[in-house]
Amino acid sequence: MKAYSAEFIGTFWLVLGGCGSAVLAAAFPGVGIGLLGVSLAFGLTVLTMAFAIGHISGCHLNPAVSIGLWAGGRFEAGKLLPYIVAQVLGAIAAGGVLYLIASGKAGFDVTAGFASNGYGEHSPGGYSLLAALVCEVVMTAMFLVVILGATDKRAPAGLAPIAIGLCLTLIHLISIPVTNTSVNPARSVGVAIFAGGWAIEQLWLFWIAPVAGALLGATIYRFIGCDKVCEKV
Q: What is the DSSP string of 36-56?
A: HHHHHHHHHHHHHHHHHHHHH
Q: Spell out a b/e string for 170-198, using b for 16 or more CB atoms within 10 Å of the CB, else e.
A: bbbbebbebbbbbbbbbbbbbbbbbbeeb
Predicted local distance difference test score (pLDDT) of residue 230: 52
Contacts of 133 (CB under 8 A, 6+ apart): 119, 205, 209
pTM for the model: 0.93
Sequence-distant (≥ 6) Cβ neighbours of residue 132 within 8 angstroms: 118, 119, 120, 123, 178, 179, 205, 209
Contact 213, 64 (CB under 8 A): yes
Do 62 and 184 touch, CB atoms closer than 8 A? yes
Mean pLDDT, the chain cut into blocks of 10 residues (233 residues total): 96 97 91 94 97 95 97 94 98 98 92 93 97 98 96 90 97 97 98 96 98 97 73 46
Pick the closest to residue 210 from 170, 162, 175 (CA basis). Answer: 175
Query: What secondary structure does DSSP assign to 136-201, as a single string?
Result: HHHHHHHHHHHHHHHTSTTSPTT-HHHHHHHHHHHHHHHHHHHHS--S-HHHHHHHHHHH-THHHH
The span from the CA of 43 to the CA of 41, in Å, is 5
3-state secondary structure of 119: coil
End-to-end distance of the chain based on CA atoms, in angstroms? Answer: 22
Task: List the one residue out of 13, 183, 10, 15 whose CA is nearest residue 114.
Answer: 15
Amino acid type, 54: G
Report the distance separating Cα 142 and Cα 174, nearest Å: 12
Contact of 22 with 98, CB cutoff 8 Å: no
How confident is the model at residue 233, as a pLDDT? 43
